[in-house]
Amino acid sequence: MHNRRRTGYKTVVEFDQPLRVALVNECELVRVGVSTMMAEHSDRVVVLPNRDLAATEADLALIDPFARRGGVVGSAEVARPPGGSRVVVYTWETRSGFVERAMLAGAHGYLSKALPATELVAALEKVHLGERLVAVDEPRTRHDRRSTIEVGLTPRETDVIGLIAAGVPNKEISRRLELSMNTVKSHIRTAYRSMGVTSRTQAVLWAVEHGVTATHLDVVDRVS
């Protein structure tokens, strides 16, 4: 075996084999499309064949709980496949509220099907390492911003609450927003008072009700 070094967010990550990914209950169109995308990155990600044991053999299981099956649109319930795979929601559904519902339901990551191959690979690697990642490339609407301003949240407090709703821990919020931990905690305390909540769970539910989502989180390093 050989080690491959991947750099991301100030740390160096080592993998000794490609990640094994299973597409659970997906249509042939999506399966072929993802397999084709990943072909150029086969040293990093391998899409397992469509068979019953694929999910149990995978490092990551990609599911789309919102896909229409049998004429019925799915819900945000995240059904865990057999085995120890980490579960990633891979979907076109990126409207406000859906991300938070899926993350609260137990997803380890939430990725848009619109992500290009390079970003998708980087995101999958980060989820495999234990990061709870949201990458939907879906900006907030003006209505979302206005609703938070009406209750007294500053733009930065809104960013913090959006990340909390996406399941991001305080330490990671500090890193992503380039704020000190004390500043993050101060924003959280002030935002909670404005929102009328006292716990992280209540804050997530408030965010869902008010359509507050995390802005697009880069999953690959940008070169300036």
Identify the three-state secondary structure at position 180: coil
Do 105 and 182 sit in the same domain of this protein? no
**CA 61 – CA 39 distance, rounded (Å):** 18
Is residue 41 in some structural domain? yes
- Residue pair 137/116 in contact (Cβ under 8 Å)? The answer is no
Cite the DSSP H helix spans in 76-154: 98-104, 117-128, 142-150
Is residue 116 in some structural domain? yes
Range of the domain at 85: 4-135
Domain boundary among 119, 135, 151: 135
Torsion of CA 175, 179, 180, 185, to 10 degrees: -100
Domain boundary among 105, 135, 165: 135
Please list the pLDDT of the chain residue by residue as tens digits (224 residues). 333 333 333 333 556 789 999 998 888 878 888 998 899 999 999 999 876 556 678 899 998 887 755 443 445 555 565 566 889 999 888 776 778 778 888 888 899 888 888 889 999 999 998 888 888 754 444 444 456 666 788 889 988 988 887 777 899 889 888 899 999 999 999 999 999 999 888 887 787 677 676 654 444 433 32
Identify the three-state secondary structure at position 179: coil
Q: How many domains does the chain have?
A: 2
**CA 147 – CA 183 distance, rounded (Å):** 23
- Residue pair 214/162 in contact (Cβ under 8 Å)? The answer is yes
Do 107 and 170 sit in the same domain of this protein? no
- Residue pair 113/93 in contact (Cβ under 8 Å)? The answer is no
Do 97 and 155 sit in the same domain of this protein? no
DSSP 220: S
The model's pTM: 0.57
Do 112 and 37 sit in the same domain of this protein? yes
**CA 74 – CA 65 distance, rounded (Å):** 5
Rg for the chain, CA atoms, rounded: 18
